[in-house]
Structure 1
């Protein structure tokens, strides 16, 4: 009879341990997902900022060359 009680206790402990592992795995996955999302948002922001800088630089260069062309009488 004591053996049956020990077997039941063993099953309960194993079940609790499995639940703990599952919960820990879920928590770790959530942290990984959040870190991945944050990293993606940061990369998106870098790409956006870089593109805006390139656009601004191209516009400034165009205006500068246009100004030179006008000063030299090459453009109206």
Structure 2
């Protein structure tokens, strides 16, 4: 399965369709090389990315939770 790891656009350039162009280019490259199935991860509060990926035909698969913590000192 293909995976889109990160697509990021600097806030100064947001809203210009750059993320969409990068996603479409990456997906086209993946489809040409291997199976036409891809997975990606997106923060649940990233409304712009959720809208983009939905418009590209992606549907929610499952939710994951990330944990952060101070590791100094490790108990």
User: Greater Rg, structure 1 or structure 2?
Assistant: 1
Query: Greater helix percent: which structure?
Result: 1
TM-score over 0.5 for the alignment? no
- Return the structure number with greater relative CO, CA threshold 8 A, min gap 6: 2
